[in-house]
Structure 1
């Protein structure tokens, strides 16, 4: 079974989404996915482990039984440039689907909360087309990373909320080129 077909099963995709940036036990996963029977959840977790998409992050004894904590496999969570370059289009689309579905989940959780105020909470999402050379894109990326490093150094404190910044940078087709809109 290929990586895309393993991940794109609805239950396995939910498990992967739940593990984005988290380490959870099967029971914690079950609390997040209450519509999935526990036996089904165990079976899908085992399949994700077998295909090395998730891994055991830790194990502890609870009342004589072993309880495992799972996380996304390092290569799946943060693929290297070489791994991405070696991936098929189908594998890349699967990875991007998991990534974007995690964004959808995060936004859904925000919308489900009480007292949401998009303006006061500084929520935004937008797209901006621009023209730039590779060097200018590298300069933009460097400036963004420099600013991000500064704010990531902040410790939790009064008035600070944990926030998530997501960027996606893709080239657009040349105007008039085949496939451009």
Structure 2
């Protein structure tokens, strides 16, 4: 699997963002979505991502006597199972996490440049909150959160509703050397 650094190039990160939600595109389709990137540069960076195992060829189709490749994020990076995650090295996990967060960056960019963003009215919120919790307390919190989210996911389209995406990242903190509060 690729090292996380392969995704730190801005062009490669943008390619991953385009392919993030299970999308499958040819290089020309990617170019239509990223028109500021020269086609030769795009081909070079797609090849780097394929070589690194971040992007794979999903399909090929004949076009005017040649073969046109259709690309997608490698499935183990796009939506890895718990078992796949357990088998990954720390660098592999950071690569998977970088692919995940690139989608969040893409979503915010689309929101901010898709009209006139009204963060307060649209209830846009992102924050970090540190807290102390036992495993049992955290499991209880996650159960409450999951139940609330499951209720919202039952909602159907209606004039007063708009699609929303909740992204959560939960991880332990190392506070070595920090004063407890």
**TM-score bracket relative to the smaller structure:** 0.7 to 0.9
- Name the residue aligned to 1:35: 36
Distance in 1, Cα, partners of 2:5 & 2:179: 30
Question: What do residues 106-140 of structure 1 show as CA deviations (whole Å, max 9, x unaligned)?
Answer: 21221223232112211111222222111221222
Cα deviation for residue 170 of structure 1 reads 1.4
- Name the residue aligned to 1:99: 100
Distance in 2, Cα, partners of 1:178 & 1:82: 34
What's the C-alpha RMSD, in Å, of the aligned pairs? 2.7
Distance in 2, Cα, partners of 1:94 & 1:169: 17
**DSSP 3-state at the match of 2:70:** strand
8 Å CA contact retained: 1:8, 1:94: no
- Name the residue aligned to 1:158: 159
- Name the residue aligned to 2:12: 12
5 Å matches for 1:1-181? 2-21=2-21, 22-62=23-63, 66-174=67-175, 177-178=176-177
Cα deviation for residue 45 of structure 1 reads 1.9
Distance in 2, Cα, partners of 1:46 & 1:180: 48
**DSSP 3-state at the match of 1:101:** helix
Cα deviation for residue 5 of structure 1 reads 3.8
**DSSP 3-state at the match of 1:173:** coil
Distance in 2, Cα, partners of 1:90 & 1:180: 30
Query: TM-score, structure 1 length as denominator?
Result: 0.79
Distance in 2, Cα, partners of 1:78 & 1:117: 31
| Count of equivalent residues | 179
Change (3 A) 1:26 1:136: same
Distance in 2, Cα, partners of 1:41 & 1:168: 31
**DSSP 3-state at the match of 1:160:** coil
Specify every segment of 5 or more residues in structure 1 that has no aligned partner in the other structure, as ranges: none
Specify every segment of 5 or more residues in structure 2 that has no aligned partner in the other structure, as ranges: none
Change (3 A) 1:10 1:131: same
